[in-house]
Amino acid sequence: MTARILPAALAVLTASAAHAQQDSWTSFHGDLASTKFSNAGTITPQTVADLERAWEYHTGDVSDGAGELPETVWSATPIYANGTLYLGTPFYRIVALDPATGAERWTYDSESRLEALTQPALKNRGVAYWQSGQEGVCEKRVFLGTMDAELHAVDADTGQRCADFAEGGVLNVNQWNEVNDVFPFSLLQPPLVVGDVLLLGWAGKDWEYAVAPPGNLLAIDARTGELLWDTGFIPPEMIPQTGTANIWTAMTADAELGLVYAPVSSPSPNYWGGDRTEPLPHATSVTALDIASGEIVWTFQHVRHDIWDYDTPSAPTLVDITRDGQTIPALVQATKQGFLFVLDRRTGEPLFPIEERPVPQSTAEGEVTAPTQPFATIPAPVGGALELPEVWPLADIVSFGQCSRDREKYLYQGMFTPPSEQGTLFFPGTAGATNWGGVAVDPRSGILYSNASRIVQLIQLIPRAEYDALNPAGGGNEEGYSPQQGSPYGIYLTDWSNWAGIPCWKPPFGTFSAIDLASGELLYEVPFGKAQFHGFYGPSDWGSPTLGGPVVTASGVVFIGASMDARVRALDAATGEELWSDLVEAPAVSIPAVFTHEGEDYVVFAVGGNSILKPEVSDQAVAYRLKR
Amino acid sequence: MNKLNAIPLLPALAGVVIAAIALAGPFGNTGVDGTLGAGLALVGSVFVALVIMLVAMRPLARGWFSALMTLAMIAALLTAVAGYFLMQTLLLAAMVITLLALAFVLSRQRRSLS
């Protein structure tokens, strides 16, 4: 770890926290606490039916992969700051729009290489915003990362590069990628801005290689681009054998405590750990670091010896919980397993019982599985993640019993059943019960809202010689073949479906839940969205798998896209009942921005699509407000 | 052309147009554009329209008439079901009207023959 923090930076931390405004939407999750809570109050369950499209805008940055460019995946949360709406695009451009009209104010092109260097698609999850509090050129900045490891800083008013940041406004983050550098640090998630510090993780491809760049968190001076500190998550002695345990998703910070909470992903390779059997305590964890020094303060590892790609997928959400008359500063970490771990954010101590339960053991060559895994008992996991869904009679009848035969044929002994040569049913699958959208919390009531997917996958370990003979044309991280080069196994991963492509497991395929964080009680869990097969929509009680997350407002409305049926919806926060919806051009796999501009409340979705849900992409940004 | 028999043709042709729009999406996203389901709905609605045209344009023996009308009704029903599951309300409405019109024509025809 290197540490060169400027003392002045910390002074700003506390100040910026005091100025946090939930009428704005200045970061990926709206605020540093990642509550995804908006004070917007005019859109209520009674008025939401009067929502209309204020405007829509097409960035032009879209590809379905059929031409020369890779497919695009656009999961950006629009940022509302400085009286402007900022979008990052999957062609690594920034678009600044008038929030009221959608009129373009300026655009900036990073001129990044449009190549799928580390991902199967060109991906972007938006931009970050920083302001110094002073007036002048580049005293307000927008930051954009690229897949080829550049961080661009531009003036928020003009879109011109900030010359005093790194080299003429462009920071080559790959200069710190010095170990096992089999791929570049892809900056798909915008940095978290805390005071004058940019906290930056990166994405890679841990399904491709056994040995990969070791995961780390970089702290960078927002004004100069200087590296303040660099904290790694893989013990130095393990670096020759493994890698990743990186941070590819959003982070959260508590400026008063001076801590950043990092959702650390699984180590490489994803599905075999025979070369990394020694403890990796920070891998697949939520880890708190001191923002001033980069020192690790505490770690909560929620998967031991991860061989399921159960990356910590989203920023934890900060909430204060009152218990026995005392207010406890807590955080909630949503996971791919569906568990919601509620921890004291000062210490990492659990606030609800967590049981260490014995789990099935692997028979794969060289593998040494962890004997136990942590199970959060309260709150109950979202999406019913503990129980493998039953075989779906409809899919079974259509396939003349294929699904039932598969159920007998493949291994499943509960959550954390290890990948196997025989084939393992994998639930929740690698896209997780929850993913980058995370959860929303109303800080006034302490009620948490979460969408969850229920996708069963089939994973097979393929011995190296057999895999090499197959010579598959590659895959991705969520489906297809992956080589795990340097390990004895390649893998094949797919959704568990019959010959007609119908899921073999019983619906619902996705749910929406509300949980009281004070008691851990599940208030409701209802099917959410509509599944779609070959264009046909399933009944409402089948639900839909989801990617993207919810926002809850002070007026008791939840806004969410996320479903595969390409609808954006408003739900009644009290019941989960759908109040309003609108058809958009593709699944809105992002988190909406909800903010108040010139006295009117707006809800803006970036509509990008994601092939995990269905092969449909778009470049549409669409804004809603109440009829005037 | 038998004018009575041609009554269901109008909603059936409307169904063809609606199904084609649902599949091609010339005015924007329909939620099902380019999908197999929308393609099947178009095939179904075209089939219904063709059968109705055949019945309306040529005098047919009673057996053939009844068989073709029944076939058209089954196709209209299935296309209506497809319209429901494709969330294409207009297609559903067009096919239900077609179905009712076919039933009306069939009942009138039977009454006149009895």
Q: How far is A530 from chain B (nearest CA, A)?
A: 11
Residue-wise pLDDT for A43-85, tens only, equals: 999 999 999 999 999 999 999 999 999 999 999 999 999 999 9
Residue-wise pLDDT for A428-446, tens only, equals: 999 999 999 999 999 999 9
Task: Determine the pLDDT at residue B62.
Answer: 83
Q: Is the pLDDT at A138 greater than 90, yes or no?
A: yes
Tokens of B104: 């009306």
User: Which stretches of B1-101 are assigned E, i.e. beta strand?
Assistant: none
End-to-end Cα spacing for chain A: 55
Instruction: Give the pLDDT mean for A153-174.
Output: 98
Residue-wise pLDDT for A227-276, tens only, equals: 999 999 999 999 999 999 999 999 999 999 999 999 999 999 999 999 99
Looking at the complex, does the CB of residue A106 fall below 8 Å from at least one CB of chain B? no
Distances in Å between the alpha carbon of A511 and those of A440, A514, A531, A583, B70? Answer: 15, 10, 11, 19, 42
Instruction: Give the pLDDT mean for A610-614.
Output: 88
- Reference A571, options A537, A604, A529; nearest CA is A529
Residue-wise pLDDT for B77-108, tens only, equals: 999 999 999 999 999 999 999 999 999 988 88
Give the sign of the dihedral formed by CA A17, CA A22, CA A27, CA A28: positive
Cα dihedral: A138, A143, A145, A150 (round 10): 20
**What's the rounded Cα separation, in Å, for the pair A435 and A331?**
17
Residue A376 exposure: Cα atoms within 13 Å on the Cβ side: 29
Q: Tell me what the pLDDT averaged over chain A comes to.
A: 94
Instruction: Give the pLDDT mean for A14-34.
Output: 70
Q: How far is A556 from chain B (nearest CA, A)?
A: 28
Give the pTM.
Answer: 0.93
Domains of chain A (ranges; CATH) run: 2-626 (2.140.10.10)
Looking at the complex, does the CB of residue B87 fall below 8 Å from at least one CB of chain A? yes
What is the residue-wise DSSP string for A286-311?
EEEEETTT--EEEEEESSSS--S---
Looking at the complex, does the CB of residue A534 fall below 8 Å from at least one CB of chain B? yes
Instruction: Give the pLDDT mean for A517-522.
Output: 95
Residue-wise pLDDT for A555-604, tens only, equals: 999 999 999 999 999 999 999 999 999 999 999 999 999 999 999 999 99
Which amino acids of A are annotated catalytic? Answer: 309
Q: How far is A450 from chain B (nearest CA, A)?
A: 25
Scanning A535-554 for CB atoms below 8 A from B yields 535-537
What is the edge-to-edge ordering of all strands in the sheet holding A79-81?
A: A79-81, A84-88, A93-97, A104-109
- Reference A251, options A140, A125, A120, A92; nearest CA is A125
Instruction: Please name the residue of chain A whose CA is at the shortest distance from the CA of residue B36.
Output: A534
Q: Is the pLDDT at A410 greater than 60, yes or no?
A: yes
Residue-wise pLDDT for A352-406, tens only, equals: 999 999 999 999 999 999 999 999 999 999 999 999 999 999 999 999 999 999 9
Which contiguous run of DSSP H or E holds residue A254? strand A252-254
Is ipTM > 0.85 here? yes
Looking at the complex, does the CB of residue B86 fall below 8 Å from at least one CB of chain A? yes
Cβ atoms of residues A231 and A216 within 8 Å = yes
Task: Determine the pLDDT at residue A15.
Answer: 29
Residues ≥6 apart with Cβ < 8 Å to A229: A1, A2, A3, A4, A5, A218, A219, A293, A294
Looking at the complex, does the CB of residue B82 fall below 8 Å from at least one CB of chain A? yes
Q: Return the residue matching tokens 């100040």.
A: A15
Cβ atoms of residues A151 and A173 within 8 Å = yes
Q: Is the pLDDT at A163 greater than 50, yes or no?
A: yes
Task: Determine the pLDDT at residue A8.
Answer: 39
Determine whether the interchain pair B35/A566 forms a contact, defined as Cβ–Cβ distance below 8 Å: no
Buried b (16+ CB within 10 A) or exposed e, A124-160: bbbbbbbbeeeeeebbbbbbbbbbbbbbbbbbbbebe
Task: Determine the pLDDT at residue A379.
Answer: 96
Task: Determine the pLDDT at residue A422.
Answer: 96
Q: Is the pLDDT at A5 greater than 50, yes or no?
A: no
Residue A257 exposure: Cα atoms within 13 Å on the Cβ side: 21
| Interface-testing mutation among B87, B88, B89, B90, with chain A (most A C-beta atoms within 10 A) | B87
Looking at the complex, does the CB of residue B51 fall below 8 Å from at least one CB of chain A? no
Determine whether the interchain pair A535/B29 forms a contact, defined as Cβ–Cβ distance below 8 Å: no
**What's the rounded Cα separation, in Å, for the pair B13 and A306?**
58
Per DSSP, the three-state class of A48 is: helix
Distances in Å between the alpha carbon of A522 and those of A75, A387, A454? Answer: 29, 17, 18
Burial of A48 (C-beta count, 10 Å sphere; 0-12/13-18/19+): buried
Instruction: Give the pLDDT mean for A523-530.
Output: 98
